[in-house]
Structure 1
Amino acid sequence: MRIPILDLKAQYATIKDEVTRAIGEVCESQAFALGPAVARFEQNVAAYCGSKHAIGVSSGTDALLVSLMALDIKPGDEVITTPFSFFATAGCVVRVGARPVFADVDPDSCNIDPARIEEKISDRTRAIIPVHLFGQIAEMEAIMEIAQRHDLAVIEDAAQAIGASRDGSKAGAFGDCGCFSFYPTKNLGGFGDGGLVTTNTDALADDIRTLRDHGQKPQYFYKVIGGNFRLDGIQGAVLNVKLKYLDEWNEKRRQNAALYDSLFAGSPVRTPAIDSHNVSIYHQYTVTVPERDKLQKYLAENEIGSAVFYPKPLHLQDCFGELGYRQGDMPVAERLCNEVMSLPVYPELTPEEIEYVAGTVLKFYGIS
């Protein structure tokens, strides 16, 4: 039995006709950059996330970048974030000339530990970027309390968390900005790159809309230097079709995760710990395991896909060497990088396939 880490073709087969019609409408209108399809998608996502504004942009990375720009994060500023995330979280901070300051993560949620944030605050700190990793929202009430007390902006990196909630509030509705990615492998994935920023602040939304289109307002008149961060019309159309199925797909992921949890009970496999306040969307089903690399090789030999997110923490990446971090500075993140592994959890998996994946993992540990 061959089981990939993700099967996008299986999802596409269920919505092919709707997607084809939606793309055809954009082709007929010839509104390829922003346009009506993007405007509709923005309106629908704002309602879905419980945010006043949603601004479509060219990628999740650009969502972070334009948020930092709109908040006037600049050279000399510091931004506190997690060392256990995709590169863009910290890379965008450097791109605006600021300095990422890393705070270690909670060993259970893998998200930034609020208890580690306050000790990193200096007179140069301007913002915090918590990441809702693997589809679970960070401890936003504690993070927002710290931010408000120190007058800091909060940018939620919700690239992996659209539809996730905490105490009834959706990802992207807590901070000054919420940043989403619609890379094809995301729970809500486009047909290429795409992203979006949510905010409840009118002035911030206005600035982001201006900055995503080179900083022009009105056309060909520039008071600020922006970028080319527009979301394509075809992406807006595809994402609008998929959005109405998102809750169904996320629920199926939760069901798949629950089956894995039951199958791994009492084994060496440490399953994801979901905070009681959270409803996760399981963008990844990430376990911590002994002999991770040997297990991954064994799974590949049995035609089972897996992935490691992430094999090296950000504070130890070569490109951030000038920040001065060393091995041992972020012990939890460093340990997780040696132990985490993500297993297939996409909605179209059958119970039999999940049982085969789990059974193969357990067989590796000598459990039948």
Structure 2
Amino acid sequence: MHHDPVAAHVTQPRVGVLLVNLGTPDAPTPAAIRRYLGEFLSDPRVIEIPRAIWWPILHGFILPFRPRRLAHAYASIWYENGAPLLVHTRALAAGVEAGLSGGNGEPAIPVFPAMRYGSPSIASALADARERGVRRLVVIPLYPQYSATTTASVMDAVFDNLSGERWMPELRSVHSYHDDPGYIAALAESVRRHWDAHGRGEHLLMSFHGIPQRYFDAGDPYHCLCHKTARLLAEALDLDDSTCSVTFQSRFGKAPWLQPYTDERIDALAAAGVRRLDAICPGFASDCLETLEEMAMQYGDRFRAAGGEALRYIPALNADDAHVEAITTLARRQLDGWMPDAIDPELIARRAAVL
């Protein structure tokens, strides 16, 4: 196929959106989980331990054994059509693409789903965008609350994968949307929908993924952003400190992580007489191992063992209409002034004559 560099250089840049989620193993098997964990736990944004200390731990103790222990957990939440996080992220991307196209004759704006770790990779999504002529790209890491361990890591990977490009695309990115009105409204709607279907529990637990306390002490704003999200959600639902709690889950290792810990708070609520506990994980855009297995299954069993009656997990926003609308609005905000126009044939002809 003949490639016309003049036309490529003077054509109105095509815009696109890159939606990036954390990632997932390709299959619920020890081998696939080992590959995924190897990539995830090798990220210096995630593990801020000197390589000389961390590498023997990772390759000598974690990767040889942990994947086998996790295989059953992943298998317990796996969908027929794949990993929940990947299935929901693809559905969200399709919804956002449909929302951006508008159905009113506007040119289609492609939306590329990608995973920070695993497949489809950021590299493959960027290559797809390049093949489709995208010269202006909005990057939306699907982490509502910014952290260096998540959002910054995504941007690291984007720039790393573009470092060899001769003609890099223009980039805009969403730093955080922890207090975005559309996102808060979508969360509140999901809780109300749960209450309408199952009745209202006595307490709402808002559990976020934890990070090591020393990351927060070093300046990571994640803890504060989580609390603002929780405050806004509580206000939208007319809850106070007696009827809701903010906690942090999924800690790993012996060092202190953000507190209060979700498991300990669950024990305390059961001991205080709470029998029906509603739980939501506002930091997860899509359901995954931490929500479906850790929260719904592990913590559900723990709550019952501590004397509670039922922990009712409220699903992540996934590809709900309100979530699609919120992310589409974020994308449109970044796309302002970037919307594609038609190719100017006269400009191409003038440039070609000069060259």
TM over 0.5: no
Greater Rg by CA: 2
TM-score w.r.t. length of structure 1: 0.26
Higher helix fraction (1 or 2)? 2
TM-score scaled by structure 2? 0.27
